[in-house]
């Protein structure tokens, strides 16, 4: 593909490399190969289940080592609530009145109206409507449901339809109404502070910076006083240099009405660069909307478990790498290290000696196998929730544990489809990672990405269908070549708010 001088200037000004953009176009032409599933990871075969005694031991290990490590929490928080409000948008577009299109035709919107008093934002909604000459109770009595929903969604009211999820009032604690942003402050105080300082980075959209700063100034003094700590909060953005080019259905780059190439945000995989810039030893990763009131203490407990497992694994990895740094280990010594990897690092896909032609070759392999970033991922039982699952995957003759999304599987292949459907657990995005080696040197995380694990989807642009490309997902292809440990955690620790109606679930009520 030959770019014009104007195109090349735009690419360079966006801090993109022409070679990378050319590769993206090649990806559109060739497509991404589906993952080759070997089997679902299950309890005892890829997923670790710990006894209550083991859980307590890991938690004790973490709490005893907190002071020796730099710890922080990373929260992807750029998502707007537009998708969360999809059913309400559908309602105001199609609803006319109770005679022509009764609200019972819109069960999600009907539930919101019937249980409006149970939302944490109820008082604020009522006040805003009152200030605009609207009485919420009269609207209910007169069946003026559309006005109520509009005041939830639109700028004249709460403007929740275009606000980040982080700003929405999720929970009511005895008359104190709080956002998921605040819930993450509370969690961080409980399991992610060192020397009375809690470090948190939220990845957000630049246009929301002012709003986040305003919210932070409003709530920080309360939580610092409540928990006796200081918060060190930073905001990062998805860099434009991670955007990907858009093409038409013939895989030709498209231009907008001003003649500029069209680039699009490349999905959550682009946040790998944000994590790559963090300098902590232990990083907790959790989505902004996965917070709850009822099971918060349970959730905190299992964050500490995952961190304890990470510390234990890291200790063993560091020790084994030290042994592997020595010259000319015997076959017996190498086999012992292999067994230690299986038993103490908690991964069993490490290859045995028989695959190698010499002790030295095997020694180098074992060192390389351990010389990687580490992620410990919580897994919850699969009860029909959407999301990727834990699988053994084969690529280039190697077997590895991966989190695999449905879109990455060839569902037209009956064998692969059946394997995918055998998943007993799924990924709630509850991850603790270490991104440095035994010497404390940071890995370059871009060296451990499977760049063949991207996604291609169809979108709309200026009334035309286009093709867009996402980088390998943050916990999929972006972490494909990490040392991966799966740990079962209780389903009650997973309480995402994907729709506004989720806020009416028991886990989000106090």
Question: Considering 163, 191, 209, which residue would you say is the last residue of a domain?
Answer: 163
**Residues 24-58, buried b or exposed e (16+ Cβ, 10 A)?**
bbebbeeebebbbbeebbbeeebbbebeeeebeeb
Question: Considering 163, 189, 218, which residue would you say is the last residue of a domain?
Answer: 163
Is there a domain that residue 23 lies in? no
pTM: 0.93
Closest CA to 183 of 321, 288, 294: 288
Question: Considering 143, 163, 183, which residue would you say is the last residue of a domain?
Answer: 163
**Does the pLDDT of residue 462 top 90, yes or no?**
no
- Of the listed ranges 30-44, 142-156, 457-471, the least confidently predicted one is 457-471
Question: CB neighbours (10 Å) of residue 486?
Answer: 24
Q: Is 217 exposed, middle or buried (0-12, 13-18, 19+ CB in 10 A)?
A: exposed
pLDDT of residue 293: 82
Is there a domain that residue 4 lies in? no
Tens of pLDDT along 196-252? 999 999 999 999 999 999 999 999 999 999 999 999 999 999 888 888 999 999 999
Tens of pLDDT along 131-140? 999 999 999 9
One-letter-per-residue 3-state SS of 136-163 = HHHHHHCCCHHHHHHHHHCCCCCCCCCC
Is there a domain that residue 423 lies in? yes
Phi and psi torsions of 459, nearest 5°: -130, 180
Clarify whether residues 337 and 391 are in a common domain.
yes
Look up residue 306 and give its two tokens: 């995952």
Gap between the Cα atoms of 216 and 232, Å rounded: 11
Clarify whether residues 149 and 193 are in a common domain.
no
Q: What is the mean pLDDT of residues 292-308?
A: 93
Q: What is the mean pLDDT of residues 362-388?
A: 91
Clarify whether residues 152 and 200 are in a common domain.
no
Look up residue 199 and give its two tokens: 């470090």
Look up residue 464 and give its two tokens: 């035309």
The alpha-helical segments, DSSP class H, found in 154-208 are 180-191
Which helix H or strand E contains 194, and what residues bound it? Answer: strand 193-194
What mean pLDDT is reported for the chain?
Answer: 94
Tens of pLDDT along 39-94? 999 999 999 999 999 999 999 999 999 989 999 999 999 888 888 999 999 999 99
**Does the pLDDT of residue 37 top 70, yes or no?**
yes
Gap between the Cα atoms of 450 and 443, Å rounded: 16
Contact 292, 505 (CB under 8 A): no
Clarify whether residues 71 and 152 are in a common domain.
no
Residue 318: give the domain boundaries. 35-79+167-254+261-435+449-490+498-508
Gap between the Cα atoms of 253 and 360, Å rounded: 49
Q: What is the mean pLDDT of residues 369-380?
A: 97
Q: How confident is the model at residue 386 (pLDDT cuts 50, 70, 90)?
A: low
Clarify whether residues 206 and 75 are in a common domain.
yes
In the chain, the number of structural domains is 2
Residues constituting the chain = 510
Gap between the Cα atoms of 67 and 401, Å rounded: 31
Q: Return the CATH number at 503.
A: 3.90.550.10
Is there a domain that residue 22 lies in? no
**Does the pLDDT of residue 176 top 80, yes or no?**
yes
- Of the listed ranges 179-193, 385-399, 418-432, the least confidently predicted one is 385-399
Query: What is the 8-class DSSP label of residue 482?
Result: S
Look up residue 323 and give its two tokens: 């042994």
- Of the listed ranges 107-111, 219-223, 289-293, the least confidently predicted one is 289-293
Q: How confident is the model at residue 385 (pLDDT cuts 50, 70, 90)?
A: low
Clarify whether residues 103 and 69 are in a common domain.
no
Clarify whether residues 137 and 174 are in a common domain.
no
**Does the pLDDT of residue 455 top 90, yes or no?**
no
Is there a domain that residue 474 lies in? yes
pLDDT of residue 2: 87
Tens of pLDDT along 480-493? 999 999 999 999 99
Clarify whether residues 293 and 407 are in a common domain.
yes
Gap between the Cα atoms of 268 and 275, Å rounded: 11
pLDDT of residue 384: 73
Q: What percent of the chain has pLDDT over 90?
A: 85
Is there a domain that residue 9 lies in? no
| Chain mean position to CA 178 | 22
Look up residue 81 and give its two tokens: 């609530």
Question: CB neighbours (10 Å) of residue 266?
Answer: 22
Clarify whether residues 399 and 465 are in a common domain.
yes
Clarify whether residues 276 and 389 are in a common domain.
yes
Measured distance between the N- and C-terminal CA atoms of the chain, rounded to whole angstroms: 58
User: CA-based angle 448:376:53, to the nearest 5?
Assistant: 160
| Chain mean position to CA 57 | 27
CA contacts within 13 A on the Cβ side of 118: 16
Is there a domain that residue 5 lies in? no
Placement of tokens 């639109």 in the chain: 154
Distances (CA, A) of 220 to 182, 185, 208, 286: 9, 9, 18, 20
The alpha-helical segments, DSSP class H, found in 296-385 are 296-324, 331-344, 359-370
Clarify whether residues 139 and 273 are in a common domain.
no
Clarify whether residues 158 and 142 are in a common domain.
yes
pLDDT of residue 505: 93
Is there a domain that residue 293 lies in? yes
Distances (CA, A) of 65 to 112, 308, 380, 433, 446: 46, 9, 26, 15, 28
Q: For residue 392, what are the β-bridge partners?
A: 39, 401
């Amino acid at each position: 593909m030959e770019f014009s001088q104007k195109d090349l200037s735009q690419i360079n000004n966006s801090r993109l490399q022409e070679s990378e953009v050319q590769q993206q176009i090649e990806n559109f032409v060739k497509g991404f190969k589906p993952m080759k599933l070997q089997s679902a990871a299950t309890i005892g075969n890829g997923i670790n289940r710990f006894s209550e005694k083991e859980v307590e031991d890991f938690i004790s290990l973490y709490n005893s080592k907190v002071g020796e490590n730099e710890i922080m929490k990373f929260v992807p928080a750029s998502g707007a609530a537009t998708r969360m409000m999809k059913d309400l948008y559908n309602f105001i577009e199609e609803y006319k009145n109770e005679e022509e299109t009764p609200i019972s035709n819109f069960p999600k919107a009907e539930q919101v109206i019937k249980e409006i008093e149970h939302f944490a934002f109820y008082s604020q909604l009522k006040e805003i409507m009152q200030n605009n000459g609207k009485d919420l109770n009269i609207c209910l009595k007169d069946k003026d449901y559309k006005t109520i929903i509009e005041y939830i969604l639109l700028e004249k009211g709460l403007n929740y339809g275009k606000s980040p999820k982080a700003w929405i009032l999720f929970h009511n604690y005895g008359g104190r109404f709080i956002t998921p942003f605040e819930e993450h402050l509370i969690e961080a105080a409980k399991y992610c502070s060192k020397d009375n300082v809690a470090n948190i980075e939220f990845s957000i959209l630049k246009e929301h910076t002012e709003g986040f700063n305003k919210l932070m100034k409003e709530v920080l003094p309360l939580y610092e006083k409540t928990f006796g700590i200081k918060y060190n909060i930073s905001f990062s953005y998805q860099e434009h240099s991670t955007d990907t080019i858009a093409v038409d259905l013939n895989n030709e780059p498209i231009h907008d009405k001003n003649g500029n190439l069209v680039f699009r945000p490349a999905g959550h995989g682009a946040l790998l660069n944000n994590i790559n810039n963090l300098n902590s030893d232990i990083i907790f990763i959790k989505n902004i909307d996965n917070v709850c009131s009822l099971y918060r203490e349970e959730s905190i407990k299992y964050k500490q478990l995952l961190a304890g497992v990470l510390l234990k694994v890291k200790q063993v990895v560091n020790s084994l790498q030290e042994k592997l740094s020595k010259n000319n280990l015997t076959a017996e010594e190498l086999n012992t290290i292999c067994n230690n990897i299986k038993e103490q690092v908690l991964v069993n896909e490490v290859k045995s000696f028989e695959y190698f032609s010499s002790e030295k070759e095997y020694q180098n392999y074992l060192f390389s196998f351990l010389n990687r970033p580490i992620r410990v991922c919580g897994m919850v039982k699969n009860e029909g929730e959407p999301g990727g699952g834990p699988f053994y995957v084969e690529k280039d003759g190697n077997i590895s544990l991966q989190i695999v999304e449905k879109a990455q599987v060839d569902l037209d292949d009956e064998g692969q489809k059946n394997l995918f459907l055998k998943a007993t657990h799924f990924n709630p995005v509850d991850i603790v990672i270490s991104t440095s080696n035994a010497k404390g040197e940071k890995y370059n995380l871009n060296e451990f990405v499977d760049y063949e694990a991207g996604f291609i989807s169809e979108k709309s642009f200026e009334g035309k269908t286009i093709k867009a490309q996402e980088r390998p997902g943050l916990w999929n292809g972006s972490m494909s070549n990490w040392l991966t440990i799966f740990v079962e955690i209780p389903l009650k620790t997973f309480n995402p708010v994907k729709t506004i109606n989720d806020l009416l679930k028991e886990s989000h009520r106090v």
